[in-house]
Structure 1
Amino acid sequence: MTREGRAKAAANLSSQGIDGLVAIGGNGTFQGATLLYDEHMIPTVGVPGTIDNDLYGTDFTVGYDTAINTAVEAIDKIRDTADAHDRVFYVEVMGRDAGFIALDVGIAGGAEYIAIPEIEENFEAIRQKLTTGGRQRSSIVVIAEGCFNGGAVDLARRMSEFVHLHYRVTVLGHIQRGGSPTARDRVLAAKLGSAAVAGLLHGELNVMAGEINNKVVLTPMRDTWEKKKAVDNSLVELSQILSI
């Protein structure tokens, strides 16, 4: 949003008698909300709503649980055809800069390998995983869209020189953004939405309502994108153990 656009938005809020704003979204939304506050003193509290789960200040974002359940359901179906036809499937999930979706989905779906942006790309490790030690003939590799220059398509093409099995690429794409919300997402949205309104009523300014260790917390909105949220290293280790 341009400076002129923000000024117009502030004027519209004022003309409608709106003196506080609940911003629902990810880092782009919160950056815009912060500018509205800095330039026009619009009281704002954020609610983390992004399937990427990459916002600092909350364990989970609204929409994440629905997205990973949608992806796991798809991978379960893909596993059936992979086993039936002895194929390698490269499944690309969302996560340009963060591997939360790929990591959870890969573990839940029993992937033979999971590639995420937080871990250095290792083509050789994938090749060995798929070809060494009597590897089962059908395999599933889960790739976050931010990995390898061309995502799953590029990885599959390069890997076909070493893995002499039929392969398919499935890009789940925006299917992860739709669907009926899970119960967990609905409860989280209710808790954080309520906390956001309470924050506005109590004069909390330019913060995000999140949940950490099952407790609602307020985090300065700028921290949500300036500070890096790390993936759980224990889950990375678990994924490597389970794929042996």
Structure 2
Amino acid sequence: LSRIPSGVSFAEAAALPTAGYTAYQAVHRKLPLDRVNSLLIHAGAGGVGGFAVQLAKMAGKTVYTTASEHNHEYVRSLGADGVIDYRQEDVHTKIMEWTEGRGVDAVIDTVSRDNATASLDSIAYMGHIVYIAGAPDFTKVKPFTSVVSYHEVALAANHKAGREARKDLGMMGDAMLRFVADKKLSPMLKDTVAMEEVPAALERLSERHVNGKLVAVWK
């Protein structure tokens, strides 16, 4: 449990889990941030991606992300240094161009197993990939080459975790709520909907064209 601080609305607080905690775990629990300077975060306009972009930028990292063209200004407002239109541009080519052929230190994939697999080519030597929507095909990376480290994030796995892991969720919530209260983190609250509007809101989410978060409230 986390106490909502003064200045943060219930709707803003409700926008944080589960996407925000997933992003926090990906950035702050899985990656050795002292050895990560650049990241490719897929789907920066989405829930997990948007929070991850902000958290990585707050940590002082160079952040690249993918998004549809109409969301480029939005993800830049979250802190992205470079945005790739994955429908019109080759993501790997662009990353290698921006990193002068080196690749990024870490990838956070929120899209799919296939997308995570394709991202392996864009990771620098001794880099990392955090996957949320399916593990990449590890056989694509030959032994004794790029030496990539793999990290799974599955917040729902906490039902099998012990007390310390569950306590950590509260710590994540405390940290993110503090960031929101201090105006360091946007809760990305796109819209609030009444309970009877939830089915239509879920339909909007299923089309994957909503940036930010939708929160249902009693109106």
- Ranked by relative contact order (alpha carbons within 8 Å, sequence separation 6 or more), the top structure is 1
- Which structure has the larger Rg over C-alpha atoms? 1
Same fold (TM > 0.5): no
User: Which category describes the TM-score, using the shorter chain as reference length?
Assistant: 0.3 to 0.5
TM-score (norm. length: structure 1):
0.39
